[in-house]
Amino acid sequence: MSMNEFSLLIDLHRHQQRQGPGGVEETRRAISLTGLKPHKDLNMLDIGCGTGGQTLTLAESLDGHITAVDLFPEFLEELEARAGKAGLTNRISTLTASMDNLPFEKEVFDLIWSEGAIYLMGFEEGLKTWSRFLKPGGILAVSDIAWLTEKRPAELEEYWAKECPGVDTLDAKQGALVRQDYNPLGHFVLPEKCWIDHYYKPLQEHYDAFLDRQGHSQAARQLVEQDQQEYEMYLKYKKYYSYGFFVAKKM
């Protein structure tokens, strides 16, 4: 991806509460599956945090400190501003870094969290790589796109083979957790509102302003068209796929 493409993605998404499907209720549901208690002083890591929709929910729900990591400093600036407004600045620190080259010591985190970002590394590779930073008995919570059925229409498979080659079934992802020495604690599927109400519709409301800022350039229009295509694909085939939220303990 070129620097111009990165800058367009940042400009389109930096004002969003979330950079992918999710929701406050779903983050809280995943927190409940961890079994972690609110009063415990936890060392937490949020990988691919974006502008921090889930980071703020974690900070409000669990006692401790969160290191929020993202590749784009512009997203982290938004997170810092939102944390300040919520009175959570002292519980969240930000770090600009790539998720495949994290600068942490081994086995220092009680909880590693990542919503909608692990696909960038590949699900199993992310599980393997991030495990080294998790204390024995520590908790991993990740959401990732997954097939809900054993068979899918060819058009859908071809689309996601290009956009996200690592899509697999919920059972396959559970199997990957076990292979990487995690004990699954529970999982659930994100509902439709997490896609439409919390992600696509807010994004669509910013298209006009985004295109105006970008002078309606061909590259900007193309990005909007790609997002619209993804939205239409979801509306057409939503019974076949969603995000799975997986919570597991390091063995």
pLDDT in tens, 7-51: 999 999 998 999 999 999 999 999 999 999 877 899 999 999 999
Residue 162 corresponds to which tokens in the numbers above? 């290009």
Instruction: Dump pLDDT digits (tens) for 209-236.
Output: 999 999 999 999 999 999 999 999 999 9
What is the distance between the alpha carbons of residues 28 and 60, in angstroms, rounded to a whole number? 10
Q: What is the pTM of this model?
A: 0.95
Work out how many domains the chain is built from and give that number. Answer: 1
Beta strands in 82-202 (DSSP E): 92-96, 109-115, 134-147, 168-169, 182-189
Mean pLDDT of 127-149: 97
What's the one-letter identity of residue 234? Y
Q: CA-to-CA distance for 72 and 65, rounded, in angstroms?
A: 21
Total residue length of the chain: 251
The domain spanning residue 94 has which CATH number? Answer: 3.40.50.150
Residue 150, number of CB atoms within 10 A of its CB? 7
Tell me the DSSP string of 28-66. Answer: HHHHHHHT--TTS-EEEEEET-TT-HHHHHHHHHSSEEE
Q: Phi and psi of 40, rounded to 5°? A: -80, 140
**Residue whose entry in the numeric block shows the structure tokens 């111009």:** 4
Chain centroid, CA 211 distance in Å: 25
- State the DSSP code for 120: G
> Both tokens of residue 167?
């899509």
Alpha-carbon dihedral sign for residues 2, 19, 250, 37: positive
Domain of residue 113 covers 3-250
How many Å apart are CA 48 and CA 126, to the nearest integer?
12
Strands 241-250 and 134-147: antiparallel
pLDDT band (50, 70, 90) for residue 3: low
Distance, in Å, from the CA atom of 244 to the CA atom of 148, rounded to the nearest integer, reads 9
Q: Identity (one letter) of the amino acid at 206? A: H
Q: Which residues of 186-196 are buried (b: 16+ CB within 10 A; e: fewer)?
A: ebbebbeebbb
Question: 49-69: per-residue pLDDT in tens?
Answer: 999 999 999 999 999 999 999
Chain position carrying tokens 């990740």: 142
Exposed/middle/buried for 86, CB within 10 Å: 0-12, 13-18, 19+?
middle
- Check residue 38 and give its pLDDT: 76
Q: Maximum distance among all alpha carbons in the chain?
A: 52
